[in-house]
A and B are shown apart, each in its own frame.
Chain A
Amino acid sequence: MTVEELEQIAESVRLENAKYDHEIHVCMDLACASQGADKLRDELVKAAEAAGKNVLVRRTGCMGPCSSGPLVRVDPEETLYAHVKAKHAEAIVASLGSLPVPELQCDLSSHFDKQVRVVLENAGHIDPEKIDEYIACEGYKALMTALIEMTPAGVIHRITESRLRGRGGGGYPTGLKWSTVAKASGDQKYIVCNGDEGDPGAFMDRSVMEGDPHRVIEGMAIAAYGVGANKGFIYVRAEYPVAVARLTMAIREARRRGLLGSNIGGTTFNFDVEIRLGAGAFVCGEETALLASIEGRRGTPKPRPPYPAVSGLWGKPTLINNVETYANIAPIIRNGGKWFADMGSERSKGTKVFALTGKITNTGLVEVPMGIKLREIIEEIGGGVPDGHTFKAVQTGGPSGGCIPAEMLDVGVSYDALMAMGSIMGSGGMIVMDDTSCMVNVARFFIEFCMTESCGKCIPCRAGTAQMYTLLSKICDGTASMDDLELLEDLCSTVKEASLCGLGQTAPNPVLSTLKYFRNEYIEHIAHKRCPAGVCTMKPQEVLA
């Protein structure tokens, strides 16, 4: 594969697309597919044939506002239809070339206006199962540019210049990580993509892998060239069968096109990718546990240092990044580091994909520039809290994150700002809660999650989370005393400071942040035996003689 050949493929796709008067894009991501997008697509194809119209019906990845699904977009008019059912197919086809179908049309401009799409630039535009469509959207151009025009050091320099930080949650500077692996000694190095997305309510990485799988592969190949690796692994949860199927297909297509394998782009660079399936352990998202799992061992974390950059898979230097991090690489190589560094806030650059869920009007996937206010995400993009309820808190970062109250909503989203508020960026889950949520119960939910997902290796996490769960349950059913609250805070500090890996070290965050911002709810449960939100059922009090 050469640059010219890539251009030819892109050109042929463009010519092919130009044959059609209209393109109908049907979102086939999980939320839309579960509401009958498959059937809808078939009906659209049938209707177009019956009407004799020159229409291309294309399946795409996630378009974003999942709660409005199934979504259909008609190009070139860019008309967006929401809640489309198979029965509407004929009406949509009939409307082509004239006015849109009014009852299906939806105005989500407030949802889209403040978004900036880098990672999701192709999502909702291309068919994820066709490599040529990706190539037509400048796909693999960045890889070719890197291989032919840049040195490995130049690639790393560009990533460093972009000031991209790891999107898995920790926010470690990506360029620094790459250069560490590049400098590590050893003739065998590995590239690993962490697709073990396990936070409750998070589905950013799934959507990227399902909607634009080649982007991840291209990012990994560029990384491999940068650090001098020739073998990559994508670790995906087995609970994501569609992502696995799309990635498998993408890898096969890329090999067929000579974009993976030996002598890529006619250079001496060799790189191939293998998929490894996770069996559903949340802790395997922790990098050392993930590497152990890839090696075929029990997925438990190891103390760091040594970091994987020095001693990773089978003791070899290993670069491990998250799906979204790799998805950012190709655009950075294409557009330059400065382009990326111009977006975002002071110390957090670029954009971040968030999965908006919970008590919010527009649930779904959004991509926003770093530094945007939480209020803008929730009230404008998310459309606010529905059904006349009032906003109470937003939980970011999954079980490792914290709950941010209404009075902190004007803070700009960045790694450091979220950390300062007692939460974390995390991989991008954002769960909105309204006045019907009891914060003690929410904390208990997350601690229960951490308790069941703890690997059991170190004591603070294994026994500490179980003890915290017991204490929180006591608070929830009204049998706790103020001493229990003190004990809970004490446990939080030990679990946070003494645990071996990130799972344990961050497990107390939901408790600590709710204690910080909603302490009165804890006190109400303990002192007055009542749940302000009316969620918890109190045990009947024992009658004292």
Chain B
Amino acid sequence: MSDAVEVKTLIIDGEEVSALRGQTILEVARENGIDIPTLCHLDGLSDVGACRMCLVEIKGSNKLLPACVATVFEGMEVTTKSERLQKHRRTILEMLFAERNHICSVCVSNGNCELQSLGQEQGLTHIRLPYRNPELPVDASHERYTVDHNRCILCTRCVRACAEIEGAHVWDVMGRGINSIVITDLHEEWGSSTCTKCGKCVQVCPTGALYDKSKIGVDHPKNPDFLPYLNLMREAQ
């Protein structure tokens, strides 16, 4: 019967909090000022649980759950910070930094990059893993934007923003495993794709993978905050 009750109470990091049925752990935590790091999650887009940064521990279960998709239940005890979680988060960040060519000093997003910020937050001072240094293309065929695959972390925010918000579904993922890349249409150049030039993908990109050609360096903050507002306005219509 407890499932019929609308309001749940649970404990996150020792703090008693209340939540609505169906809310995710991440939502509830952020409402209560508890920060859980995320990369693929973005308010206003569907969640895929892919980056694994938001993994949390649930008392009574040995499995780690992604806070962005795991929903609350009555009496749940959540730990968002522990040595185990911290270790995994740092290792995942290391994997990301070593996977492609993330060179902050020459990146347009330097200072405005979510990956960079997370690295700083998690106290990442060096990478133990061997850098893979892949040779990846840069597609600058679009009149306004550029995609630099060297900086892509495959969070698929661009894919979801394009499909769910813009309704164009120009972006998608091609290939498997370590060889996955985001593509426009059926792997055509971005400039000759069916892109509507709305620029939402650029705004939601957490790194410098998608950027505006007219802006450089510190001039390039991303503003993904328009999404929840846009969704709200659309629902109101």
By a beta-carbon cutoff of 8 Å, the part of chain A in contact with chain B is 281, 283, 298, 302-303, 305, 451-467, 470-471, 487, 490-491, 493-494, 497-500
Give the residues in chain A near B69, CB-CB below 8 Å: 303
A sample of 16 more A-B contacts (CB under 8 A), given A463-B98, A466-B132, is A298-B172, A302-B48, A303-B49, A303-B70, A452-B176, A456-B173, A460-B52, A461-B177, A462-B154, A462-B180, A466-B177, A467-B130, A467-B132, A470-B132, A490-B91, A491-B129
Contact A500 B50 (CB under 8 A): yes
Contact A455 B176 (CB under 8 A): yes
Contact A467 B177 (CB under 8 A): no
Contact A458 B176 (CB under 8 A): no
23 contacts between A and B (CB under 8 A): A302-B49, A303-B66, A305-B71, A451-B177, A453-B176, A454-B178, A455-B176, A458-B51, A458-B52, A459-B96, A459-B153, A460-B52, A462-B180, A463-B96, A463-B98, A464-B91, A465-B177, A465-B178, A466-B132, A466-B178, A467-B130, A471-B130, A499-B52
Contact B95 A463 (CB under 8 A): yes
Given A303-B49, A466-B132, A500-B49, A456–B176 Cβ distance below 8 Å? yes
User: Complex Cα distance A466/B50, Å?
Assistant: 17
User: Complex Cα distance A490/B177, Å?
Assistant: 20
CB of B122 to closest CB in A, whole Å: 14
CB of B169 to closest CB in A, whole Å: 12
Give the residues in chain B near A302, CB-CB below 8 Å: 48-49
Give the residues in chain B near A491, CB-CB below 8 Å: 91, 129
Residue of A465, A471, A490 with most chain B CB atoms under a 10 A cut-off: A490
Give the residues in chain B near A456, CB-CB below 8 Å: 154, 173, 175-180
CB of B152 to closest CB in A, whole Å: 11
Contact B177 A455 (CB under 8 A): yes
Contact A467 B98 (CB under 8 A): yes
Contact A460 B177 (CB under 8 A): no
User: Complex Cα distance A471/B98, Å?
Assistant: 13
Contact B177 A497 (CB under 8 A): no
> Restricting to B187-213, which residues have a CB under 8 Å from any CB of A?
none
User: Complex Cα distance A32/B222, Å?
Assistant: 63
Give the residues in chain B near A461, CB-CB below 8 Å: 177
Given A303-B66, A464-B95, A498–B52 Cβ distance below 8 Å? yes
Nearest 9 pairs of A and B residues by beta carbon: A456-B180, A454-B177, A303-B49, A463-B95, A494-B91, A466-B178, A463-B99, A498-B52, A456-B177
Give the residues in chain A near B87, CB-CB below 8 Å: 490, 493-494
User: Complex Cα distance A459/B93, Å?
Assistant: 9
User: Complex Cα distance A454/B99, Å?
Assistant: 15
User: Complex Cα distance A303/B51, Å?
Assistant: 12
Given A467-B95, A467-B130, A457–B178 Cβ distance below 8 Å? no
Residue in B95, B172, B173 whose beta carbon sits within 8 Å of that of A460 in the complex? B95
Give the residues in chain A near B52, CB-CB below 8 Å: 458-460, 498-500
Closest to A471 in B: B130
Contact B177 A462 (CB under 8 A): yes
Closest to B66 in A: A303
B234 at interface by CB-CB < 8 Å: no
Residue of A281, A452, A462, A463 with most chain B CB atoms under a 10 A cut-off: A463
User: Complex Cα distance A232/B78, Å?
Assistant: 39
B92 at interface by CB-CB < 8 Å: yes
Closest to B97 in A: A463
Contact A454 B176 (CB under 8 A): yes
Contact A281 B64 (CB under 8 A): no
User: Complex Cα distance A485/B153, Å?
Assistant: 26
Give the residues in chain A near B50, CB-CB below 8 Å: 457-459, 500
CB of A297 to closest CB in B, whole Å: 10
B10 at interface by CB-CB < 8 Å: no
> Restricting to B46-73, which residues have a CB under 8 Å from any CB of A?
48-52, 55, 64, 66, 69-71
Contact B92 A457 (CB under 8 A): no
Chain B contact residue count (CB 8 A cutoff): 35
Give the residues in chain B near A453, CB-CB below 8 Å: 176-177
User: Complex Cα distance A270/B52, Å?
Assistant: 43
User: Complex Cα distance A497/B89, Å?
Assistant: 11
Contact A298 B91 (CB under 8 A): no
User: Complex Cα distance A56/B130, Å?
Assistant: 65
Give the residues in chain B near A452, CB-CB below 8 Å: 176-177
Given A454-B178, A466-B177, A498-B52, A459–B66 Cβ distance below 8 Å? no
Give the residues in chain A near B172, CB-CB below 8 Å: 298
B215 at interface by CB-CB < 8 Å: no
Residue of A305, A471, A497 with most chain B CB atoms under a 10 A cut-off: A497
B144 at interface by CB-CB < 8 Å: no
Contact A281 B176 (CB under 8 A): yes
Closest to A457 in B: B50
Closest to A503 in B: B177
> Restricting to B4-62, which residues have a CB under 8 Å from any CB of A?
48-52, 55
User: Complex Cα distance A456/B176, Å?
Assistant: 5
User: Complex Cα distance A452/B179, Å?
Assistant: 9
Residue of B70, B91, B172, B175 with most chain A CB atoms under a 10 A cut-off: B91
Contact A487 B64 (CB under 8 A): no
Residue in A454, A470, A497, A499 whose beta carbon sits within 8 Å of that of B130 in the complex? A470
Given A462-B154, A467-B95, A298–B173 Cβ distance below 8 Å? yes
User: Complex Cα distance A465/B178, Å?
Assistant: 9
Given A303-B49, A303-B69, A460–B132 Cβ distance below 8 Å? no
Residue of B51, B95, B98, B175 with most chain A CB atoms under a 10 A cut-off: B95
B81 at interface by CB-CB < 8 Å: no
Give the residues in chain A near B96, CB-CB below 8 Å: 459, 463
CB of A232 to closest CB in B, whole Å: 28
Give the residues in chain A near B126, CB-CB below 8 Å: none
Give the residues in chain A near B66, CB-CB below 8 Å: 303, 500
Give the residues in chain B near A303, CB-CB below 8 Å: 48-49, 66, 69-70
> Restricting to B104-138, which residues have a CB under 8 Å from any CB of A?
128-130, 132
Give the residues in chain B near A470, CB-CB below 8 Å: 130, 132
Give the residues in chain A near B173, CB-CB below 8 Å: 298, 456
User: Complex Cα distance A455/B156, Å?
Assistant: 13
CB of B160 to closest CB in A, whole Å: 13
Contact A498 B180 (CB under 8 A): no
User: Complex Cα distance A464/B94, Å?
Assistant: 10
Give the residues in chain A near B130, CB-CB below 8 Å: 467, 470-471
User: Complex Cα distance A462/B95, Å?
Assistant: 9
CB of A407 to closest CB in B, whole Å: 28
User: Complex Cα distance A487/B98, Å?
Assistant: 14
User: Complex Cα distance A298/B179, Å?
Assistant: 15
User: Complex Cα distance A387/B96, Å?
Assistant: 47
Contact B88 A494 (CB under 8 A): yes
User: Complex Cα distance A451/B95, Å?
Assistant: 14
Give the residues in chain B near A500, CB-CB below 8 Å: 49-50, 52, 66
User: Complex Cα distance A461/B51, Å?
Assistant: 10
